[in-house]
A and B are shown apart, each in its own frame.
Chain A
Amino acid sequence: MTDAIQTISPETLKTEYLSAENCEFFASAHGFLGSKIKGKEYKRVILTRALPLTEPDKYICITDVEKTELGIIEDTSVFSPEQKKLIDDELSRRYFCPVITEIKSIKEKFGNFYFDVMIGDFKKNFTVKNLNKNIRYHGEGFDLIDVDGNRYRIPDFKAISPKSRRNLEPYLY
C-alpha cells in the first residue's frame, strides 16, 4: 500500500481479511449460512464474489443481512473440507445459473435472439437482446443474459453437442 493511500482515510481503507483461524461457518436449521467471526456470531451472513467470472473461489466478501461488510476471504481453499462445503453451497445458491445442456435452435429476428434450449430435461425458451453485450465469457464457457436479467450457463462450450455448437457459433464473436 502506498503512503499516499494510507493518508487518505485509514478507516475506510481497513479491510478485514478472514481465514479459517478467525472465521467459522455453520448452517442454520433452515439451511441459511451463519458465521462466527472473531468470536462474534452472526445468524445469517451473505457471501458475494468479487471476481465471479474468473476467480469464483477467491475474494469472497462476507456481509451481514444489513449489507455491512464483515470481511473478505482471500481464498476459500484454506478452509477445511466441511467448512468449504458450507461456503460452496451458499455461493452456488446465490450464483445459481441454470445450465444449458442443448441448444435446439436460435432464431434471430429484429435484433432479438430467440433461444430454444434444454436445461436438463426441461425445455426452456428465452430471448436475448443484443447478444454481443449479453454474453459473459469465463474459462471455457460463458453465461447468456436474457431480457429479464436471468442468466443461463454453458460451463464448457466444447462439451455440448456439435449441433448445439453449430447453432450458436455464428453469433459468438
Chain B
Amino acid sequence: MKKGFPPPFPPERENKNKLPPWVIRALEEKGLSAEGLVFACFCDMDNVALYKDSWLFFDNKGLYIASGTQETVKPKRGHVPPEPKVTIEKIQSIPVGDIDSLTAERYTSTGRLVMSENGEDVPLTYFSLGKIGDLDEFARAFNSYKETGETGITPRMDDGPGKCKKCGAPCPPDKDFCREHDKNKGTAVRLLKFFGTHSIQIAIILALMVMNAAAQVFVPQLSTRSLYDNVLSGGSPLEQSIKALGVLVLSVVGLRVLKTVITIIQDYMSASIMPRIMYDIKVRIFEAMQRLSVGFYSSKQTGSLMDRVTRDANNIYWFFTDGVPRLIIDGAMIIGILIVMFTMSWKLSLIALITTPILFLTLVLGDRLFRRMHHRVWVMRSRARSLVSDNINGQRVIKAFAKENDEYGHFEKESDAVRDAEVRLGVAEATLFPILDIFVLLLTTVVLAFGGVMVAKSEGNMTTGTLLSFIVYVNMLKEPFGFLSWISNWWSRCSDSAQRVFEIADAMPDITEKEDAVGLENIRGEVEINELEFEYEPARPVINKLSLHAPAGTMLGIVGKTGAGKTTIANLIARLYDAKEGSVKIDGIDVRDLKLADLRRNIGLVSQDIYLFIGSIADNIRYAKPDATMDEVIAAAKAACAHDFIMKLPDGYETRVGAGGQSLSGGEKQRVSIARTIIQNPKILILDEATAAMDTETERNIQASLGLLTQGRTTIAIAHRLSTLRDSDYLAVIDEGKIVEYGTYQELIKLKGEFYRLYKIQAEALKTIGIGDTEGVFAPDETEEEKHDD
C-alpha cells in the first residue's frame, strides 16, 4: 500500500451492516454493549461538518452515534494489515421512541442525517457525499425496523469471501488474492499473456533483434578502426593496402546486407504476429463490453468506450510494434557498445562513462519539462477540436440564431491559445536541443582529448583508428540513451491504455445469470411487481415501494409526468437493471432467477429512444429473427404502418439506415422499431412511448395494428398521451416512483383524481388547438353527470 493512498481497512470492506470487532471492543471499554445491535454504518463527519470518524448504530432501545478516531497502520508488504486502533471520545444516544423517522438529506458536497421528532426536524450529523448511500440505507433500515421490526435490507459484504488466500488481507470479492499476492496484478504481465500463444515466433524475433544490434555495433570496427589502422595508416605497401580496403569494403557491404536481411525477417514476423495480438485484445474488449449491463454504458461516455476499442488498443499496438523492438535493440546496443569500448580501452571507457550520467540526466529533465508543455498543447488542441465538433453539429442552430460571427470569435480565441502553447513549446525545443547537443560535443571532446594523449603516448595499444572508432561509439550511445530517457513515458501511456482495457475486461456485469437459472420456454406472460425500489444514485429513489399486477394477456397502461419513473419500470421488467429491493416476477418467477436469454426473448421492448443499426431497413426489422422471410418482414412493416413509407424510398427495404445511411424522421424510425418488435413475437410487450413521435393519423393506424398485436399477450403501455391508453384493461398513474391511482379507465375518470386532471388538461389542450375530443380522449361512454361536471 503506497503512502498517501486510502488506508487498507476501510470499514466498508467488512459487513456494512455490522460494527467491526475493534469498534465493538472500544465501545465496550466505554461501557456500551453492542450485543443487541441491529444495524450500523460508518460516518466520516461530525455535526459541525468537520472530518471525524464516527459509527452510527441502533438496537431496539436507542440510536447511538459514537465518535472518535480510527488509526490505521500501514501493513508490511504481503502481511495481514493490523487492526486499526479505535478511540471513542463521545457517545450520543437517543431513545428509539423519540425518533419518528430518519432522513439522509443530500446537499451539494455533503449530506446530513436528520431525525424527525414530534414533527420537528433535528440534525444529527453531517457526512461526505460519498457516504450518502450508506447513510440513506441506515435511515431506511431504521424507519423500517421501527415500523415492522425488520430492517428490510439485504446484508452486504459478508466476512466470508473477499479474503486473500495467502495472507488473509481484504481483497475484492471476486478475487482470491490481494493485490500483493495477485500474480496477475502487473499490467505488463497481463499484456505479455497475450503474446504467450506466439512464444516461439517472439523468441525468434528477440534473437533477430539482438543479432541486428550486434551487426550495428560491429560496423565501426570495420568502417573506422580497420580503415584507419590497416588501410590509411600508410605503413603497408599500396597493393596490400588496396587488398585490405577491398576486404574491408566487402565486409562492410556484407554486414549491411546481413543487417537488412535480419531486419526484413524480423519485420515480416512482427507484421504477421502483432495484428493477431491486437485482434485478440480488441475482441476481448468487445466481448467484455457485450457482457456488461446497461448501467455500465450509462456511467461511461460513448466516446470514452470507443477510445478503448480503437485508440487504447492502438496505443498498445504501437508500443509493442515500435517501442519494444527499439528498446531491445537499443538496450542490446548499449551493452554491446560498452563491451566493445571496454575491450578497446577500459581507461577511456571509464572517462566516457563518468560524463554519460550527466547526459542522461539532462535528457530526463528535458523530457519532463517538455511533457508539461506537450500536455498543455494537447489540452488546448482538444478544446479547439471540441469547439469545431460542437460547431459542426450545431450548424442549424448557429444559422437559425445568426451566431456565425460569435462562433468565429470563440474559435479565434481557442485557436489563439493553441498557437501560443505551440509557440512556447517550439521555442523551448529549439533552445534546449542545441544545448543538449553541446553536452554530447563536450563528452566527445573530453574523450578525444584523453584519447589523443593516449595515442601520442602509445598507451595501451591506443591507435588513431581505435580512438576514432571510440568516438563513433560514444556518439552512437546518444540515440539509445535519448530513447531510454523517454521510453518510460511511452510505457506509461501504453500501460495507461492497457489499464483502461483491463478495466473493461475485469468489470463485473451488474446483471448476471444465476448458475441454477430457470428456463422459460412457454410463458403465459403474467407480470407481477412487488414492493419495488430502485435508484440510479444513492438517496435519490426513482421507484419507491411500487406494486403492480398485469395478469397474462391483459394490457396495463402506465401514465405519469416526465421523470415519474415510467421508463425505469420498463427497464426493470426487462431486467436491464436489477431492483434495489422488492421484485419483478414473470409467471410467478423472479426475473433474477430466470435465464436472461429466455427472459429477453419473451419481452419485446419498443423504447422511446430508437436506435437503428447500420444496415438495410429489412436487416433492422429482422434483427430479433435473422431467418425471417421477406413475407414476414413485409407483414411486420405493414402492421407497424411502415410499409408505405418504405416503399416510397428509392431503395425500398434495402435502404441503408443508421450512421451514414438514409435519414428517417422520428416517426419513421419508431415504426421500423415497432416492426422489429412485431417480428420478435414476444409474449410480453412493453411499449414505452412507442407512438410519441407520430402524427395523429399514423398513431391511430398503429393503434389499430398494435390492437391486433397485443391480443393474446401481456402489454405494458407507457404514454403521456392518454389516447394511447384507451384500450388498457387497467391503468396506473405514477408519480415520484409511487402509484397514486390504479383502476380501469372508467374507474379513474369517476375517481376525479390525478388521472382525471391529466385527462382534462389534455382535452382542454386539444380543444384549444381546434381538435376537440376527436382524439377520443374523452371516454366514449362518459356519463351525463360527468359531462355536466366538466
CB-contact partner of B120 in A29, A122, A173, under 8 A: A29
Task: Report B-chain residues with C-beta under 8 Å of the C-beta of A119.
Answer: 51
Q: B116-140 vs A: 1/0 string, CB under 8 Å?
A: 0000111100101110000000000
**Once the chains bind, are B372 and A149 in contact (CB under 8 Å)?**
no
**Once the chains bind, are B121 and A30 in contact (CB under 8 Å)?**
yes
- Segment 3-61 of A: residues with Cβ below 8 Å from B: 28-32, 43-44, 52
Closest Cβ–Cβ distance, residue A132 to chain B (whole Å): 7
**Once the chains bind, are B108 and A52 in contact (CB under 8 Å)?**
yes
**Once the chains bind, are B379 and A125 in contact (CB under 8 Å)?**
no
Task: Give CA–CA (A93, B112) in the complex, Å.
Answer: 10
**Once the chains bind, are A125 and B110 in contact (CB under 8 Å)?**
no
- Segment 490-531 of B: residues with Cβ below 8 Å from A: 495-496, 499-500
Closest Cβ–Cβ distance, residue B178 to chain A (whole Å): 19
Task: Give CA–CA (A132, B376) in the complex, Å.
Answer: 12
Q: Do A170 and B123 form a contact, CB below 8 Å, given A52-B108, A150-B109?
A: no
- B49 close to chain A: CB less than 8 A: yes
CB-contact partner of B109 in A29, A30, A43, A97, under 8 A: A97
Task: Give CA–CA (A105, B380) in the complex, Å.
Answer: 24
**Once the chains bind, are B51 and A170 in contact (CB under 8 Å)?**
no
A-B interface pairs (CB < 8 A), number: 76
- A139 close to chain B: CB less than 8 A: no
- Segment 113-165 of B: residues with Cβ below 8 Å from A: 120-123, 126, 128-130
**Once the chains bind, are B108 and A114 in contact (CB under 8 Å)?**
no
**Once the chains bind, are A173 and B130 in contact (CB under 8 Å)?**
no
Closest residue of B by beta carbon distance from A44: B121
Closest Cβ–Cβ distance, residue A25 to chain B (whole Å): 16
**Once the chains bind, are B107 and A116 in contact (CB under 8 Å)?**
no
Task: Report A-chain residues with C-beta under 8 Å of the C-beta of B380.
Answer: 173
**Once the chains bind, are B376 and A173 in contact (CB under 8 Å)?**
yes
Q: Do A170 and B109 form a contact, CB below 8 Å, given A32-B121, A32-B123, A148-B128?
A: no
Task: Give CA–CA (A29, B191) in the complex, Å.
Answer: 62
**Once the chains bind, are A93 and B107 in contact (CB under 8 Å)?**
yes
- A146 close to chain B: CB less than 8 A: yes
Q: B43-87 vs A: 1/0 string, CB under 8 Å?
A: 000000111000000000000000000000000000000000000
Q: Do A151 and B500 form a contact, CB below 8 Å, given A170-B372, A173-B379?
A: no
CB-contact partner of B500 in A32, A111, A125, A146, under 8 A: A111
- Segment 120-173 of A: residues with Cβ below 8 Å from B: 122, 124-125, 132, 146-152, 170-171, 173
Closest Cβ–Cβ distance, residue A42 to chain B (whole Å): 12
**Once the chains bind, are A146 and B130 in contact (CB under 8 Å)?**
yes
Task: Report A-chain residues with C-beta under 8 Å of the C-beta of B121.
Answer: 28, 30, 32, 44
- B6 close to chain A: CB less than 8 A: yes
**Once the chains bind, are B120 and A28 in contact (CB under 8 Å)?**
yes
Task: Give CA–CA (A122, B380) in the complex, Å.
Answer: 35
- Range, interface on chain A: 35 or more
**Once the chains bind, are B109 and A116 in contact (CB under 8 Å)?**
no
Closest Cβ–Cβ distance, residue A165 to chain B (whole Å): 14
Closest Cβ–Cβ distance, residue B763 to chain A (whole Å): 17
Closest residue of B by beta carbon distance from A95: B108
Q: Do A116 and B4 form a contact, CB below 8 Å, given A94-B108, A97-B109?
A: yes
Task: Report A-chain residues with C-beta under 8 Å of the C-beta of B120.
Answer: 28-30, 43
CB-contact partner of A150 in B122, B128, B499, B500, under 8 A: B128
Q: Do A111 and B496 form a contact, CB below 8 Å, given A30-B121, A95-B108, A151-B108?
A: yes
Closest Cβ–Cβ distance, residue B324 to chain A (whole Å): 20
Task: Give CA–CA (A141, B495) in the complex, Å.
Answer: 33
- Segment 85-123 of A: residues with Cβ below 8 Å from B: 93-98, 104-105, 107, 110-111, 114, 116, 119, 122
- B193 close to chain A: CB less than 8 A: no
Task: Give CA–CA (A152, B129) in the complex, Å.
Answer: 11
- B375 close to chain A: CB less than 8 A: yes
Task: Report A-chain residues with C-beta under 8 Å of the C-beta of B129.
Answer: 148-151
CB-contact partner of B123 in A31, A111, A173, under 8 A: A31
**Once the chains bind, are B123 and A149 in contact (CB under 8 Å)?**
no
**Once the chains bind, are A149 and B107 in contact (CB under 8 Å)?**
no
**Once the chains bind, are B49 and A105 in contact (CB under 8 Å)?**
no
- B5 close to chain A: CB less than 8 A: yes
CB-contact partner of A107 in B4, B6, B376, under 8 A: B4
Closest residue of A by beta carbon distance from B117: A30
**Most chain B CB within a 10 A radius of its CB, from A29, A110, A152:** A110
**Once the chains bind, are B109 and A95 in contact (CB under 8 Å)?**
yes
**Once the chains bind, are B108 and A125 in contact (CB under 8 Å)?**
no
Task: Report B-chain residues with C-beta under 8 Å of the C-beta of A125.
Answer: 4-6
**Once the chains bind, are B110 and A170 in contact (CB under 8 Å)?**
no
Closest Cβ–Cβ distance, residue A131 to chain B (whole Å): 10
Task: Give CA–CA (A124, B51) in the complex, Å.
Answer: 9
**Once the chains bind, are A132 and B379 in contact (CB under 8 Å)?**
yes
- Segment 1-35 of B: residues with Cβ below 8 Å from A: 4-6
Closest Cβ–Cβ distance, residue B760 to chain A (whole Å): 15
Closest Cβ–Cβ distance, residue B491 to chain A (whole Å): 13
Task: Report B-chain residues with C-beta under 8 Å of the C-beta of A146.
Answer: 130
Closest residue of A by beta carbon distance from B103: A65
Closest residue of A by beta carbon distance from B7: A125
Task: Report A-chain residues with C-beta under 8 Å of the C-beta of B500.
Answer: 110-111
**Once the chains bind, are B499 and A110 in contact (CB under 8 Å)?**
yes
Closest Cβ–Cβ distance, residue B147 to chain A (whole Å): 21
Closest Cβ–Cβ distance, residue A118 to chain B (whole Å): 11
Task: Give CA–CA (A79, B366) in the complex, Å.
Answer: 58
Task: Report B-chain residues with C-beta under 8 Å of the C-beta of A98.
Answer: 51, 109
Closest Cβ–Cβ distance, residue A152 to chain B (whole Å): 8
Task: Give CA–CA (A9, B499) in the complex, Å.
Answer: 53
**Most chain A CB within a 10 A radius of its CB, from B6, B108, B375, B495:** B108
Closest residue of B by beta carbon distance from A116: B4
**Once the chains bind, are A173 and B375 in contact (CB under 8 Å)?**
yes
Closest Cβ–Cβ distance, residue A143 to chain B (whole Å): 8
Closest residue of A by beta carbon distance from B380: A173
- Segment 578-628 of B: residues with Cβ below 8 Å from A: none
Task: Give CA–CA (A116, B2) in the complex, Å.
Answer: 12
Task: Report A-chain residues with C-beta under 8 Å of the C-beta of B108.
Answer: 52, 94-97, 151
Closest Cβ–Cβ distance, residue A73 to chain B (whole Å): 18
**Most chain B CB within a 10 A radius of its CB, from A29, A96, A114:** A96
**Most chain B CB within a 10 A radius of its CB, from A28, A43, A111:** A111
**Once the chains bind, are A30 and B122 in contact (CB under 8 Å)?**
yes
Task: Report A-chain residues with C-beta under 8 Å of the C-beta of B50.
Answer: 122
Task: Give CA–CA (A173, B372) in the complex, Å.
Answer: 11
CB-contact partner of A114 in B5, B49, B376, B496, under 8 A: B5
Task: Give CA–CA (A31, B112) in the complex, Å.
Answer: 13
**Once the chains bind, are A114 and B379 in contact (CB under 8 Å)?**
no
Task: Report B-chain residues with C-beta under 8 Å of the C-beta of A170.
Answer: 372, 375
Closest residue of B by beta carbon distance from A147: B130
- Segment 367-382 of B: residues with Cβ below 8 Å from A: 372, 375-376, 379-380
Closest Cβ–Cβ distance, residue B30 to chain A (whole Å): 24
Beyond A152-B109, A173-B376, 19 additional pairs, beta carbon < 8 A: A30-B121, A43-B120, A44-B121, A52-B108, A93-B107, A95-B108, A95-B109, A96-B108, A97-B108, A98-B109, A107-B4, A110-B499, A122-B50, A125-B6, A132-B379, A150-B130, A151-B109, A151-B129, A173-B380
The 9 A-B pairs of least Cβ separation, nearest first, read A148-B130, A151-B109, A116-B4, A110-B499, A173-B379, A149-B129, A30-B122, A170-B372, A122-B51
Residues of B at the A interface (CB closer than 8 Å) are 4-6, 49-51, 107-110, 112, 120-123, 126, 128-130, 372, 375-376, 379-380, 495-496, 499-500
What are some 11 contacts across the A-B interface (CB < 8 A)?
A30-B121, A93-B107, A93-B112, A94-B107, A96-B107, A111-B496, A125-B4, A132-B379, A147-B130, A150-B109, A170-B375
